[in-house]
Amino acid sequence: MSLAACYRVESLKLLGGEPLLHSGLLDVINAVVEAGISDKVCVVTNGVLLPRMKDEFWGAVDEVWIQLPGIRTLTRTA
């Protein structure tokens, strides 16, 4: 029985600490894709290391979210 038979999400987000520092990040992304548990793979990062990422990374992810420390979501009140 594969994991995809009992677990499925639209987008799987890899975050926490700094995912781009993980030496096996591409292996993790490929495992998610091969398991078929998600339509998209998203990496949430502070963006500092993005210029160093190789083509293999960019070809493996569907979305990259840049989260800047200290930036809060602003909401409008009436």
Per-residue confidence (pLDDT) for residue 68, from 0 to 100: 80
Q: HSE on the CB side for 29, CA within 13 Å? A: 23
Question: What average pLDDT does the segment 51-57 reach?
Answer: 96
Mapped onto helix, strand or coil, the DSSP state of residue 72 is coil
**Domain spans, the chain:** 3-66
- Sorted by sequence, the CB contacts under 8 Å of residue 78 that are 6+ apart come out as none
* Percentage with pLDDT > 90 across the chain: 65
Q: How far apart are CA 41 and CA 33, in angstroms?
A: 8
Question: What average pLDDT does the segment 32-48 reach?
Answer: 93
Q: How far apart are CA 7 and CA 15, in angstroms?
A: 19
Q: How far apart are CA 12 and CA 43, in angstroms?
A: 8
Per-residue confidence (pLDDT) for residue 58, from 0 to 100: 96
Per-residue confidence (pLDDT) for residue 78, from 0 to 100: 55
